[in-house]
Amino acid sequence: MIRLLTVIMMAFTSILLVHAQSSDSPNEPEISVTVSPEPAMSLARLENILVALDPQTQANGSRFLLTIEDIQVFVITDVANDRMRVMTPIRAREGIAAAEMTRMMQANFDSALDARYAIAQDTLWSVFIHPLSPLQKNQLISGIGQVVNLVISYGTVYSGGALNFGGGDSGGINRELIEQLQDKGQKV
């Protein structure tokens, strides 16, 4: 993500420089830079990205199972409603102390970022939910990394690993897994 932001900032700076030079020299041709948008996310494209992250990804229609850092990750899509969800169970809901629940809600505010702690069917989950078609490759990869990081950091720093939004109660940053997944996903 940092690399992507750096590339975008470099492109923006180049555009500004070209514009500034062309306004100083009206006789020179104007250069325009066009960035091609990513295609809409489809099940086939989603599967290609997931297989790049884990070649043993199992596909079953609109559902996928892959393993990242020895953690099973489920990716469930609903094409008709243009939604997708990356999720993995953490533990049974029973026995979660109030202080721990408070800590998870604090993390949801500032350090979980795009992933979240959630409870469903008497289970504590780590989830990333996003509309399917506008989902970009790096958003998907980052979301998967954040889901896994929430599982790994559960009980300690409660961090999605990308960065800390700030203004909340969390500290600690763990970015390594997301960068590893971004590198794998660059092949797609």
Closest CA to 63 of 72, 145, 71, 123: 72
Confidence (pTM): 0.71
Q: Is residue 31 helix, strand or coil?
A: coil
Distance CA 169, CA 110 (A): 7
Q: Which two tokens stand for residue 58?
A: 């199992």
pLDDT for res 173: 34
Confidence band of 75 (pLDDT split at 50, 70, 90): very high
Q: Which two tokens stand for residue 59?
A: 């596909």
End-to-end, the C-alpha distance of the chain in Å comes to: 16
Between these two residues, 35 and 131, which has the higher pLDDT value? 131
pLDDT for res 172: 37
Between these two residues, 179 and 82, which has the higher pLDDT value? 82
pLDDT for res 185: 79
Q: Where are the beta strands (DSSP E) in the chain?
A: 58-60, 63-68, 71-78, 83-92, 116-120, 123-131
pLDDT over 70 at 156, yes or no: yes
pLDDT for res 74: 98
pLDDT for res 186: 76
Question: What percent of the chain is predicted at pLDDT more than 70?
Answer: 71
Q: Which two tokens stand for residue 46?
A: 């989603």
Closest CA to 35 of 16, 15, 19: 15
Confidence band of 34 (pLDDT split at 50, 70, 90): low
Distance CA 147, CA 86 (A): 7
